[in-house]
Structure 1
Amino acid sequence: MTCADRGHLLTEQANPASASLDQLSSSELVDLFCREDEKALLAMEAAAPALAEAVEAISSRLRSGGRLFYLGAGTSGRLGVLDAAECPPTFCTPPELVQGVLAGGAPALLRSSEGLEDLREAGRHDLIERGFSPGDALVGIAAGGTTPYVLGGLEHARAIGALAIAMACVPSEQAPMPCAIDIRLVTGAELLTGSTRLKAGTATKMALNIISTGVMVRLGKVYGNRMVDVAVTNSKLEDRALRILKDLAGVEREQGPALLAAAGGSVKRALVMAAAGLSAEQADEALSAHDGQVRQALEQLGAQLV
């Protein structure tokens, strides 16, 4: 095995601010982390144009029947799996629409399998195994930008004509990645040298939150700032659904459960039914005619929410 020198990467460099980390009191240590973690937000702001481009490009792919894949190893891959897993309960998406692909598979979520990230061909193989196709979008996540597993996946995505998006926490000149959209979250050296589960991981989690939420907004999963496509699967989510119906459609809480039942548990369908006085079938037709967009469907019907 050839061990390349990665010392030039920003994520591998020592941070002067933490040179005496082991000598700090607990209070001093926490204060230092609080100050340093502010850089994750600054990195996000600098990457805003690329993030916006990614949201638009991914939305277009999904609107045409494609899917979104996150690919990564170690912490980066686990963050992708986490974001993908949160889409079905939050936005009522089918599990296959947003998928997290982690080097080592499910066992690597709980037990480190970092050695697998060196297998460039494995990234390509894992995507092929998932049926990754030209109509899909890939976000390859690698904090240092050099993970062979991720680079192999990005190369495969570009080769078949899929949308390839790279996400790393080092400048592109330090670690070029094959992609159409290059998201660089430059957070700087970590307080614990090389531990990219810290600032780099925080910025990555924030970026993935923005991408998935932004895409779902574009796909009509949100009205205003409400998750109107939420799946009512437990008491907390039922309470949220009832409050959405009251706040947006003026449906009193006592009448909410019956409306939800008539709407088959769909908050989005229930909103259109309440606002326009439609049956569940008619509400479905109106939504389907406008790609699931509640606002556009209601405008066409001459109805409105509160």
Structure 2
Amino acid sequence: MTEILEQRGHLLTEQVNPNSQSLDQMTTLELVDVFNQEDTRTITAIAAARQELAQAIDCIAIALQRGGRLFYIGAGTSGRLGVLDAAECPPTFCTPPDLVQGIIAGGAAALIRSSEDLEDRAEDGATAIAHHRINAQDVVLGITAGGTTPFVHGALQAARQRGATTIFMACVPQEQVRATVDVDIRLLVGPEVLAGSTRLKAGTVTKLALNILSTGAMVKLGKVYGNRMVDVSVTNRKLHDRALRILQDLTDISREEAGYLLERSGRRVKLALLMHWTGLDPESGEQLLASHQGNLRSAVDSYKP
């Protein structure tokens, strides 16, 4: 670990960007333009990591199907992005809160107040793994832009010892920082516009990658029909309206009929669609969905009156 820390000054994320060396002398428009030009590198980085991202999606989906959980773990910006993605899974996919979890060095307080000094404690990462009782069914995804965060490495090492599937996500090449994990994702966006400020391109590309991973895994779990979030949690007016529109778009029924169907299904869009397409009552529909692990398309295709 000491060797990793000593090489931080040579990391890709710490280098000086030649395109923004006169940042403090630029006009406001030039400043916006250089950010915009550099941010295009995030799309290229995602494309370059497509194989690893696909591998990670499959690992996560298999683990969740088998009763495991997904944990994001990081410090600072990386940790906050993991917590954010985890927090958005329940309303989007109606998942239980413990299915996808975010762990950040310093705990909840670090979400709103910087506590970057805590990232240097590898033992805290290991403690977090033990605290959450992570086991061989789970997946632990360590996020660290510069790749050297001891908190993340300590967590990944502890997770491997417990038999969990491990994924590493960093914005430096493997030859700069190596990681012994099952899937190694490198998102190489180059030096930041503001040297060393990895909340910029590194943060953006991390958010893009997490969007792909969590959404991709949920698609594999059958929580999406076509490109509709049929497992959406109907908890407010906006989401109620979205649920009605999904039902209307996929069935060609009126808004009034969609509202009646949604209420009969207990406000479960997936079940409402199944009931409409098969004529089943809510209880029978629930049983059919359960027999297909909640996959709506599979349940509908298998139905024989």
TM range (shorter): over 0.9
CA contact (8 A) 1:158 1:178 kept: no
2:64 and 2:127 map into 1 onto residues whose CA distance is 22
> Does residue 1:154 correspond to 2:126, yes or no?
no
Residue 4 of structure 1 corresponds to 6
SS at match of 2:255: coil
> Does residue 1:62 correspond to 2:64, yes or no?
yes
- Return the match for 2:142 from 131, 134, 140: 140
Gaps (5+ residues) in structure 1?
none
Q: CA deviation at 1:258?
A: 1.6
Residue 223 of structure 1 corresponds to 225
- Return the match for 1:74 from 55, 73, 76: 76
Residue 267 of structure 2 corresponds to 265
1:145-173: CA deviations, max 9, x gaps? 11000001111111111000000000011
TM-score using structure 2 length: 0.97
SS at match of 1:111: coil
Q: CA deviation at 1:183?
A: 0.3
Q: CA deviation at 1:250?
A: 2.4
Q: CA deviation at 1:5?
A: 4.1
Residue 122 of structure 2 corresponds to 120
CA contact (8 A) 1:151 1:178 kept: no
- Return the match for 2:205 from 203, 206, 223: 203
TM-score using structure 1 length: 0.97
SS at match of 2:256: coil
- Return the match for 2:257 from 232, 235, 255: 255
- Return the match for 2:50 from 37, 48, 51: 48
Mean Cα displacement is larger for which, 223-232 or 2-11?
2-11
1:149 and 1:255 map into 2 onto residues whose CA distance is 53
Residue 26 of structure 2 corresponds to 24
2:304 and 2:178 map into 1 onto residues whose CA distance is 51
2:291 and 2:223 map into 1 onto residues whose CA distance is 15
Q: CA deviation at 1:259?
A: 1.1
Q: CA deviation at 1:252?
A: 1.4
CA contact (8 A) 1:121 1:152 kept: yes
Q: CA deviation at 1:178?
A: 2.2
CA contact (8 A) 1:142 1:167 kept: yes
CA RMSD of aligned residues (A): 1.1
Residue 180 of structure 2 corresponds to 178
Residue 93 of structure 2 corresponds to 91
1:11-33: CA deviations, max 9, x gaps? 00001111100000110000010
Q: CA deviation at 1:261?
A: 1.2
Mean Cα displacement is larger for which, 32-41 or 257-266?
257-266
Task: Figure out how many residues of one structure are paired with residues of the other and give that number.
Answer: 302
1:124 and 1:252 map into 2 onto residues whose CA distance is 54
Matches within 5 A, 1:269-280: 269-280=271-282
1:173 and 1:283 map into 2 onto residues whose CA distance is 53
Q: CA deviation at 1:302?
A: 4.8
Q: Which amino acid aligns with 1:116?
A: L
SS at match of 1:255: helix
Q: Which amino acid aligns with 2:253?
A: V
SS at match of 1:165: strand
Residue 245 of structure 1 corresponds to 247
Q: CA deviation at 1:132?
A: 1.5
SS at match of 1:44: helix
Q: Which amino acid aligns with 2:107?
A: G
Q: Which amino acid aligns with 2:138?
A: D
SS at match of 1:106: helix
2:252 and 2:233 map into 1 onto residues whose CA distance is 20
Q: Which amino acid aligns with 2:292?
A: H
1:30-86: CA deviations, max 9, x gaps? 001000000011000000000000000110000000000000000000000000000
Percent same amino acid at aligned positions? Answer: 58
1:149-208: CA deviations, max 9, x gaps? 000111111111100000000001100112110000011000100000000100000000
SS at match of 2:10: coil
Q: Which amino acid aligns with 2:144?
A: A
1:267 and 1:59 map into 2 onto residues whose CA distance is 22
Q: Which amino acid aligns with 1:261?
A: E
CA contact (8 A) 2:134 2:162 kept: no
2:240 and 2:15 map into 1 onto residues whose CA distance is 48
Q: CA deviation at 1:262?
A: 1.0
Residue 108 of structure 2 corresponds to 106
SS at match of 2:58: helix
SS at match of 2:160: helix
